[in-house]
Amino acid sequence: MTFTAEEVEQQHALAHQARAEARAGAAFAQAAAEDPLRLPDFFPLLLAAYDDEPLTAEEQAQLAAYENALVEAERRRGLLGLVDLAEVMRHGSTEPEMLVPDLLVRGLHHLIYGAKESAKTWLLLWAAAQLLVRGETVLWVDKEMGRGSLADRLKTLAGAGRETAMANVVEEHLVYCEHPTMDRSAESVALWTALLQNRQPALVIIDAQTEVLADAGLNENIGTDVERWMQSYLTPARRLGVTTVFLDHTPLDSSGRAVSSRQKGAAAKVELEVVKTAHFDRDTVGLVTVTRNKNTVSAPIPETQGFRIGGTPFVLEPSELLLPGAAATAAGAYLRVRSDIRLLIQRAEEPLTKSQITDSISGKDSIKRRALADLAGDPTEPVEARPGSRVGSLLYSWTGEPAPEPLPEPVI
């Protein structure tokens, strides 16, 4: 058999590539086998590979070695899971440390659930924003809302005039994954593990669990399926000391538990249920309550806590107003009336009398009178009450920023 000069050159090139791959692969595989989570910055190479960018022979060998070593390292770790517990006792912290006061414990897994439109995502985004502002990285896996809705909420949380500053913080510290495919494939797990090592997040939020399990063809009603997914994605994060959160839904006919498999709750050290107690939107300040249903580590998390949310300017802040049952309904009515009065005064071109205000707002007269008096007497509210032309009458006017143009309803 004879070969042309071109064919001989091709064979030489293939042999040279094979030798290069063998040398690079052997060296990299040894380093990867020791601890693939602690390799040098490998994430750009992974991105290039999975974006179909051309790789050199050495890079291709490194990629194959990394994926193989990752699988092998996870297999070995799972066999015995040996840890020097005495070292932890001597030098490690055994007391729970709060990542976000009253809500999230550093380094633990959380399950946060509630009915549709209960403000679960708002609450977690509010917590994440606190970390971003103080320079900690947050990794947000979004399988529900999409970039537009999440960006809008971040701007809303920032407030008028602070959107650019928030955008700068988000650019630096928020890692946002929009509708990723987390199917437990070698490529997906390798990318995820490298991303964790590359960005070192303080917090990982998965919104929502049902969708990511579906990516992998797993059933949320089967505990072993839930555990398989968590081993692929949450376990690597936990080994790095990352706080993790699953957002989940509650059935329409249920309270106090998340949907489907008990394995979801079994893996979480902290479970919080979010309930919308009083309606809220861009014009109305409402109330949500957060109930602690599980706290394995006895972290300093209140059994029940409330948050005021909504309105324009938008507020999301802790509230001492926590009333169950019929009392909560009455509290919700009060908050709605107070918010409506506030907005009416803010938008009025001239000062308003008490009668003008109460006649323009729906609700019980007693609630309207109390809400107006509370609003005018609140030193934090830019509402002024001054004597009118009639003896004993008052005129109510707005002393803060003008009301913004009406905005479309948010996706909640």
Tens digit of each residue's pLDDT (9 = 90 or more) over 365-377: 888 888 888 888 7
Let me know: does 123 contact 276? Beta carbons within 8 Å.
no
The whole-number average pLDDT for the span 333-355 is: 86
What does the block give as tokens for 343?
Answer: 């907005």
Report, as an integer, the average pLDDT of 192-201: 89
Distance CA 343, CA 382 (A): 11
Return phi, psi of residue 309, to 5°.
Answer: -150, 140
Is pLDDT larger for residue 392 or for residue 409?
392
The share of the chain scoring above pLDDT 90, in percent, equals 32
Token pair of 412 as six digits: 């909640």
> Does residue 183 contact residue 120 with C-beta atoms inside 8 Å?
no
Closest residue by Cα to residue 240 from 176, 194, 204, 196: 196
User: CA 326, CA 337: separation in Å to the nearest integer?
Assistant: 17
Write out the CATH class of domain 98-321: alpha beta
Q: How far is CA 132 from the centre of its chain?
A: 11
Cα distance between residue 206 and residue 248, in whole Å: 9
Under CATH, what is the fold of the domain 328-398? Arc Repressor Mutant, subunit A (1.10.10)
pLDDT at residue 1 in the model: 47
Neighbour count for residue 188 (Cβ, 10 Å): 18
Distances (CA, A) of 343 to 172, 284, 357: 35, 9, 11
In contact, 65 and 32? CB cutoff 8 Å: yes
Least confident of 99-103, 151-155, 156-160, 373-377: 373-377
Q: Is the pTM of this model over 0.75?
A: no
**Three-class DSSP category at 30:** helix
Share of the chain above pLDDT 70, in %: 72
- Return the higher-pLDDT residue of 271 and 261: 271
User: Which CA distances in Å does 313 have to 285, 309, 339, 391, 398?
Assistant: 10, 10, 11, 34, 14
Q: Which amino acid is at 292?
A: R
Q: Which residues pair with 114 in a beta bridge?
A: 249, 274
Rounded Cα–Cα distance for residues 190 and 68 (Å)? 9
Residue 201: per-residue pLDDT: 95
Q: Using CA atoms of 130, 245, 37, 39 in order, give the dihedral in degrees to the nearest 10.
A: -30
Burial-class residue 256 by CB neighbours within 10 Å (0-12, 13-18, 19+).
Answer: exposed
Closest CA to 340 of 376, 302, 371, 377: 371
The reported pLDDT for the residue numbered 58 is 75
Report residue 411's pLDDT band, with 50, 70 and 90 as the boundaries: very low
Q: Where are the domains of the chain?
A: 15-80, 98-321, 328-398
What order do you get walking across the sheet with 394-398 strand by strand? 352-353, 394-398, 383-387
Given this model, what pLDDT does residue 40 score?
43
Nearest Cα to Cα of residue 294 among 227, 246, 229, 234:
246
Whether 70 has a pLDDT exceeding 70, the answer reads no
Fold match, 98-321 / 328-398? no
| Residue 224 CA from chain centroid, whole number | 25
Ranges 77-81, 114-118, 340-344: which has the least confidence: 77-81
Give me the pLDDT at residue 109, please.
95
Q: How do residues 115-142 score in pLDDT, each as one tens digit? A: 888 899 999 999 999 999 889 999 999 9
At 357, the pLDDT band (50, 70, 90 cuts) reads very high
Using DSSP, state whether 32 is helix, strand or coil. Answer: helix
